[in-house]
Structure 1
Amino acid sequence: MTIEYTLPATMRVARLHEIGGSLKIDTLPVPKPGSGDVIVAIKACNVVPNLRNILTYWPQWHPEMPLPPLPGSFGLDAAGAIAAVGDNVRAFKPGQRVYVNPATGCGGCRFCRSGDILNCDSFTYRGYFGRGGPATLGIFAQYPFGGLSEYVVAPQSCLVTLPDSLPFEQAARFGYLGTGYAALRKGGLRPGDTVLINGIGGTLGVNTTMMALAMGATKILGTGRRREPLERVRALAPHRIEVHSVDESGVTVAEWARSLTEGYGVDVVVDCLPPNSPAESTRAAMRAMRTGGSTVLPGGMSEALTLDPFWGLGKNASLIGSRWFSAAEGQDMADMAGAGTLDLSPLEHRRFSLDAVNEAVATAAESGSGFTNVVVLPSAT
């Protein structure tokens, strides 16, 4: 059944007025869609743990990567129902359930024209930050609202249609899931392969594990420090997942991985470590690769990574950076969830109203569990 929406004149939006301040709830006009845009009524928006850093420290850490101009609207991962469409939108209609991928390119460079917006120099996360290209501020001006709003305007090219069986709260976790999925695809993971997820107990590590299970990895090896989160991830599929605490054993990650792979090492390493991690932790995981293996870097480890080129030559190894994911990859995940091959039931949702958005930001930053899914529900109706 098609749902017809009558858009209100105004909406409530959580906006930052000054760096380091709290988000404030402002009342603003509901946006109008451009000819190729849609308006989405947001039902759930994930609050990523890094959002507190973005709101507090980002201009000091990365002045080359601009935030939305203040007062700015934030919210990275949003899911909801289409409320209105532009004149040239024909593939979507009001009432459809969608995830809104925040990834946006300039639209005109050679990469955007080939459908490869992830390699656009002006690649921008709507409602978060831009990578610093010349078109970033224009993208923020055209699409000024993040998911911590009752409504957003977004290009139709960024939409992922959702099956009725997928709750909005789970779809709002697609940012982390998609980052892991894109990394596994870039690493060439195939059914039957073995993958090592470095930092498996964190938010990105848990979601990458869920995707590796859905993609048919025969064996998933996970490293971390604390035993409790390691064992919790292992419980997702004890017959396919093995975990290793680097603080408890004198055995190196490489030795442990080879002992579980007939001496070869793993096919793919995905490094999911956070920014404050030492580079040696990444190097230790890389040494677990088999000859001809791949290491993919979707995480945030920011210390300089020093490598021996002769070692890389001898191992015939690949080192691959990976940022975000495409709308097409998002559609893959939605279809896998609809078919039941991607199981998102282990996620534990912490739900907040838009009025409690600052509490949600603090909760996400301090949760400490990769299974916790903090979501704001701007419009529960």
Structure 2
Amino acid sequence: MSLMHAARLHEVGAPFQVDQIEIPQPGPRDVVVEVKACNVVPNLRNVITKYPDWFPFLPLPQLPAVYGLDAAGVVSQVGSQVRNVKVGDRVYVNPGRDSGDSHASRAGEPINDPAYTFQGYFGFGAGSREVFTDYPQGGFCQYMKAPANALVILPEEISFEQACRFGYLGTSYAGLKKTGVRAGTSVLIHGATGTLGLGAVLNALAMGATKVFAVARDRELLERVRQLAPRRVRVLSYGDQPVGTWVREHTAGRGADVFIDAIGPGAPSETSMAGIDALRRGGRMVNVGGMAEPLQVDMIRVMTFQISIIGSLWFSVGEGQDMAEMAAAGTLDLSVFDHEIYPLSQINEALDAVEKRRGGFTNVVIVPGS
């Protein structure tokens, strides 16, 4: 029996412990990935410390559990029925798992599967518990098992540290795709200096948006966002002036084509409402941040202005491959991140570092083999 090191949570509220456990073996359509980098996502501490107050409809893995949402590494083993992925391939592991045989899965909408599950994080239905059993490892370990069809093949231009940000980048990319962002589009982004919001800025620029309106509170970080593309990005510290007035000043009075709401739970609903009010007729709003307060939406205005309000969860493997190709071509700039790298033995220090980060430019990474 071959063993590996894994950081496991044994008890809610307790620190992670580094244990020795068995290296997983692949099923016929699986691979085993040697993890080279795993992102420490900002929401992780909420997930692991608030049970049973965590959302009851979002199941958690059984303890002791190996967490770690966003992993990148090298394929070390392939199952007997894996035809195209090869040992040695550099990959990002999309952690989204579906049952494979639900109505949503058969319809080509795996993210809408009632048992959809984030491997190494949390699930979305009762069936998630079985998925956790099938794929028990997140990325906080040396080796993890995953389906071969979950892999994004990474070009050499993308480092493992950059690739393990694909979760947040992909969430914003999928949301932007739902709105039809293209050349000539104007995009308003709330929470633009955060992990999700910065990803939305980077992807909007990569997809050809010619006007990006970035809204947040931290002026220093907003200036850094503006410098990403000074001719295309305009910034506003929330509260300096009404968002709708500001956006219309720069769009000949029309309003924004797209509004990406990347603010999370705890933000006031009026922030989201201000973004909706800044949309042009026919504009589209996408929520990727999970703002938790109820919205007091004027449905007559939504109807007569043909405003679309869309929820967007995660992203497909194909969308991840899109981002990999954009990054390799240089249109999606992944060089902007400030990587803070920790070995597996310092997983608890890495969790603390996430809470002290300066916005979305900071990228806290676990490197299990270091």
TM range (shorter): over 0.9
Number of the residue aligned with 1:105? 98
Give a deviation string over 1:4-56, Cα, whole Å, max 9, x none.
Answer: xxxx8111111100111101011011111010000000000000011111111
Rounded to whole Å, the distance in 2 between the matches of 1:83 and 1:321 is 37
Rounded to whole Å, the distance in 1 between the matches of 2:353 and 2:255 is 38
Rounded to whole Å, the distance in 1 between the matches of 2:237 and 2:157 is 36
Rounded to whole Å, the distance in 2 between the matches of 1:85 and 1:253 is 51
Number of the residue aligned with 2:299? 309
Rounded to whole Å, the distance in 2 between the matches of 1:72 and 1:262 is 53
CA contact 1:59–1:66 (8 Å) conserved in 2: no
Rounded to whole Å, the distance in 1 between the matches of 2:106 and 2:127 is 15
Local SS of the residue matching 2:52: helix
Rounded to whole Å, the distance in 1 between the matches of 2:258 and 2:311 is 13
Rounded to whole Å, the distance in 1 between the matches of 2:318 and 2:52 is 31
Rounded to whole Å, the distance in 2 between the matches of 1:332 and 1:294 is 22
Number of the residue aligned with 2:150? 158
Number of the residue aligned with 2:345? 355
Instruction: Tell me the CA shift for residue 361 of structure 1.
Output: 1.1
Equivalent residue for 1:137, pick from 119, 129, 132? 129
The one-letter amino acid of 2:156's match is D
Number of the residue aligned with 1:126? 119
The one-letter amino acid of 1:184's match is L
Please identify, of 57-66 and 238-247, the stretch whose mean Cα deviation from structure 2 is larger. 57-66
Rounded to whole Å, the distance in 1 between the matches of 2:234 and 2:176 is 18
The one-letter amino acid of 1:347's match is F
Equivalent residue for 1:192, pick from 178, 184, 187? 184
CA contact 1:21–1:55 (8 Å) conserved in 2: no
Q: Does 1:341 align with 2:331?
A: yes
Instruction: Tell me the CA shift for residue 191 of structure 1.
Output: 1.5
Number of the residue aligned with 1:378? 368
The one-letter amino acid of 1:138's match is E
Number of the residue aligned with 2:170? 178
Number of the residue aligned with 2:141? 149
CA contact 2:47–2:54 (8 Å) conserved in 1: no
Instruction: Tell me the CA shift for residue 228 of structure 1.
Output: 1.3
State the Cα RMSD in Å.
1.0
The one-letter amino acid of 1:108's match is D
The one-letter amino acid of 1:96's match is D
Q: Which runs of 5+ in 1 are unaligned?
A: 1-7
CA contact 1:278–1:303 (8 Å) conserved in 2: yes
Give a deviation string over 1:128-186, Cα, whole Å, max 9, x none.
Answer: 00012x32111000000000010000001110000011100000000110011001001
Please identify, of 61-70 and 144-153, the stretch whose mean Cα deviation from structure 2 is larger. 61-70
Number of the residue aligned with 1:210? 202
CA contact 2:259–2:286 (8 Å) conserved in 1: yes
Number of the residue aligned with 2:59? 66
Rounded to whole Å, the distance in 2 between the matches of 1:59 and 1:265 is 43
